[in-house]
């Protein structure tokens, strides 16, 4: 089982990878969500949960990735008063800050 510190490090590495490729990166009060292409037809979905520092990573085919992204946007995000779609370096910096604040 990974420690909180290991999860923070891994989440930051995954964020950098996602930022450099086709991806959707979302930030809520509770978690950071990243879904991105790792190879043709292969995607990775990652959630980093702020309150406990847990990290969930799943490898997916393209169809499943699309279905999960649609679910996140239509079911998960509407439960929040505000959320951020990471589109530039400033919003990416907010994700980095939130992940680092979890510490470990």
CA–CA separation, 43 and 102 (whole Å): 26
pLDDT at 101: 96
Could you give the percent of the chain with pLDDT greater than 90?
A: 95
pLDDT at 2: 80
pLDDT at 1: 62
Band of pLDDT at residue 93, cut at 50, 70 and 90: very high
Per DSSP, which regions of the chain are E strands? 23-27, 31-39, 42-49, 55-61, 84-85
CA–CA separation, 98 and 94 (whole Å): 6
pLDDT digit string, tens, across residues 13-22: 999 999 999 8
CA–CA separation, 42 and 103 (whole Å): 30
Coil, strand or helix: which one is 47? strand
Band of pLDDT at residue 3, cut at 50, 70 and 90: very high
Burial tier of 35 (Cβ tally within 10 Å: 0-12, 13-18, 19+): buried
**In the predicted model, what is the mean pLDDT of residues 53-68?**
97
């Amino acid at each position: 089982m990974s420690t909180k510190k290991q999860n923070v490090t891994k989440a930051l590495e995954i964020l950098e990878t996602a930022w450099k490729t086709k991806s959707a990166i979302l930030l809520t009060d509770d978690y950071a969500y990243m879904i991105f292409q790792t190879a043709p037809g292969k995607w990775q979905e990652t959630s980093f949960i702020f309150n406990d520092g847990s990290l969930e990573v799943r490898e997916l085919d393209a169809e499943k990735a699309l279905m999960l992204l649609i679910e996140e946007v239509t079911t998960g995000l509407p439960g929040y008063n505000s959320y951020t779609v990471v589109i530039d370096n400033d919003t990416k910096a907010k994700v980095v800050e939130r992940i680092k604040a979890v510490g470990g």
